Amino acid sequence: MQLLLINFLYKSSSKVSFIINLITLISSEATSFLLRFKYNIVTSGEEEVPFPIKHEIPQGKSFIIYENKYEKSFEIFKDLVTHNISGLAITRTPPLSLKKAYNLEKTPFIWLSKIEGPNTISPIYLNSLMNLITDFINKGKDSIVILEGLEYLTSQNNFDIVLKFIQALRDIVLIESSRLVIPLNKSAFNQKEIALIEKELEILK
CA distance 81 to 67: 21
Q: Cβ neighbours of residue 131 under 8 Å, at least 6 residues apart? A: 31, 32, 35
pLDDT, residue 24, reads 39
CB atoms within 10 A of CB 61: 17
**Tell me: the pLDDT tens digits for 142-181?**
999 999 999 999 999 999 999 999 999 999 999 999 999 9
Per-residue pLDDT at 98 exceeds 90: yes
CA distance 69 to 48: 26
CA distance 58 to 62: 9
pLDDT, residue 42, reads 61
- Residue 123's nearest CA partner among 144, 95, 92 is 92
Domain ranges of the chain: 1-39, 41-203
CATH class, domain 41-203, is alpha beta
**Tell me: the pLDDT tens digits for 19-53?**
434 333 334 444 444 444 456 666 667 888 888 89
Pairing state of beta strands 202-203 and 179-184?
unpaired
Per-residue pLDDT at 16 exceeds 50: no
**Tell me: the pLDDT tens digits for 109-130?**
999 999 988 889 999 999 999 9
DSSP per-residue letters across 149-174: -HHHHHHHS-HHHHHHHHHHHHHHHH
Contact (Cβ atoms closer than 8 angstroms) between residue 189 and residue 197: yes
CB atoms within 10 A of CB 203: 11
pLDDT, residue 44, reads 67
Edge-to-edge strand list for the sheet holding 86-91: 120-121, 109-112, 86-91, 143-148, 179-184, 61-66, 202-203
Pairing state of beta strands 120-121 and 109-112?
parallel
The runs of H, that is alpha helices, within 56-205 are 71-81, 95-102, 126-139, 150-156, 159-175, 191-200
In which band, very low, low, confident or very high, does the pLDDT at 139 lie, cut at 50, 70 and 90? confident
pLDDT, residue 141, reads 80
Question: What mean pLDDT value characterizes the chain?
Answer: 84
Phi then psi dihedrals of residue 112, to 5 deg? -80, 105
